Amino acid sequence: MKELDHTWFMRRAIEVAKRGWGDTHPNPLVGALIVEGGEVVAEGYHAKAGEAHAEINALRALGRRPHPGATLYVTLEPCCTHGRTPPCTDAIVENKFARVVVGATDPNPVHAGHGFDILRAAGIEVIRGVLAAECEDLNLIFNHWITTKQPLFAAKAGVTLDGKVATRLGESKWITGGTARANGHLWRRYFPSIAVGAGTLRADNPRLTSRLEGGEWCPIRFVFDGLLRSVLDKAMPNLYTDEFRERTIVVTTSHGGLGYVRKLNSMGVRTWMLSSTSPKVSFVDFRKKCAEEGITGVFFEGGAQLVSELLQARELDYLFSYQAPVLFGDDKGKTIFRGLRTEHLANAVRLEHVRHETLGDDVLTRGFVKYPEKMFVDEATFSKRSLIE
C-alpha cells in the first residue's frame, strides 16, 4: 500500500474515531493515524472531553518521535488554541511531521483554517478535505452545537412504504427488522439524551436505554408531560422506578401540579417546569434549558403527536427515517408526521445532506430538515389556522 493512498488511511481514521462513539460530548469524535513507509504505526482517538486529543494519543501509542517523512492522518483539523488541553498544532510541529492529511475543517468560524496556517508556516505539507463529508458526518451534534450554540434536535421513525408508524389499532411492533432496530440503538448511544411524550410512555412503558453488544447504557431520558398524566398512583412507568431513574427528567408546566412534581422528586426523578400559558411544553424554552445545562443533542423517539408538534414548530433539526418494505394501504393507519397543510411542493419540508443505508430489508434515510419559506398548519387538525414563518 502506498503512503499517498489518502482515502484508505482516512477511512481507517474514521473507524478509529468511532471508538469514542457517544462519550466525547461536548467535544467531537476524532481519529488519528501515524503512517511511516506506507504502514500505520500508531493510532489514537479522542475518548472523553478534558482528556488528550486523538493526535496526542496517537503519539503516545507510538512511544517515540515519528521518523522523518512521517504522515499524520486526522479526521478533524488539529486544534490551535489552548483549552482544557494544549493545542495539537504545537505537538505536530514539535514532532516534525512531514505531512498532515485532514478530513474536515474545524466548524468553528473563529478557528477554521488557522490550524492549517500554523502547520504550513512550520514547513509541514497540509492536505485537506479527504473524505470531508464522511468526517463531518461523524460530528452531527458537535458541528451543530459549535456553530449555533444550541442542541441538535433529531427524531427517529420506523415507517412503512406508505408512511405509517402503526396500524389503526395502534400495533407497531415491529414494522422494521432487527438490523434496523439495532442501528437505532447505536444512534441512541450517540446522543447524550433521548425524549418521548407522555402518551408513548404510558402506552409502551419503554426503557429508553441503548442495548448493544457491549452492554446497556442509559442517556438522559426526557419525558414531555405538560399535565403530568404519566405520574400514576399505582404502577409507575419504568423510567420513574428503574436503576437509571436519576437520569430521567420530566419536562412539564405549571398546569401539571406541584404535588406530582414533589412525588417525582422524592423518587429521585428530576423535573423541569417550563413557563407556558398552555399544558404544552415550549420547544424553544426546552432548547434554551438544554443549552444552559450543556446538553448538546436530543433524540426524539415519539410519539407521533410530540414529533409532529416539533416539526410544526420548526424545531426539528434532523430526521432518521427507517423504512420497511411493508404496506398498510389504510387511511386510518397512524402516521408519524401530521398537522401540516401542504398544497404546493414549494411548501414541503425536505431533507438535505441526505445519507442512505440498507439495513437488512429496511432502508435508513437521514438528513438535516430544511423548512420551506412558508409552512401552514392544517385547520382540520388544530383549532385555528396559523402561519409559521
What does DSSP assign to residue 212? Answer: E
Element (H, E) at 199: helix 198-204
Angular region, 211: left φ>0, alpha ψ -120 to 50, beta rest: beta
- Count other Cβ atoms within 10 Å, centred on residue 310: 24
E strands, the chain, are 31-36, 39-45, 71-76, 99-104, 125-127, 152-159, 164-166, 193-197, 210-212, 215-217, 220-224, 248-252, 270-273, 297-300, 318-323, 334-335, 350-359, 362-370, 375-376, 387-388
Contact criterion met (CB below 8 Å) for 181 and 206? no
Q: Which residues pair with 193 in a beta bridge?
A: 220
Instruction: Name the residue with cell 438535516.
Output: 368
Element (H, E) at 30: none
Grid cell digits, residue 4: 499517498
Could you report how far apart the first and last alpha carbons of the chain are, in Å? 54
- The SS3 of residue 388 is strand
Contact criterion met (CB below 8 Å) for 366 and 328? no
What is the Cα–Cα distance from 47 to 49, expressed in whole angstroms? 7
Active site residues per annotation: 55
Backbone angles phi, psi at 187, to 5 degrees: -70, -30
What is the Cα–Cα distance from 354 to 21, expressed in whole angstroms? 21
The reply to whether omega before 333 is within 30° of 0 (cis) is: no
- Count other Cβ atoms within 10 Å, centred on residue 180: 22
Contact criterion met (CB below 8 Å) for 381 and 339? yes
Angular region, 230: left φ>0, alpha ψ -120 to 50, beta rest: alpha
The reply to whether omega before 68 is within 30° of 0 (cis) is: no
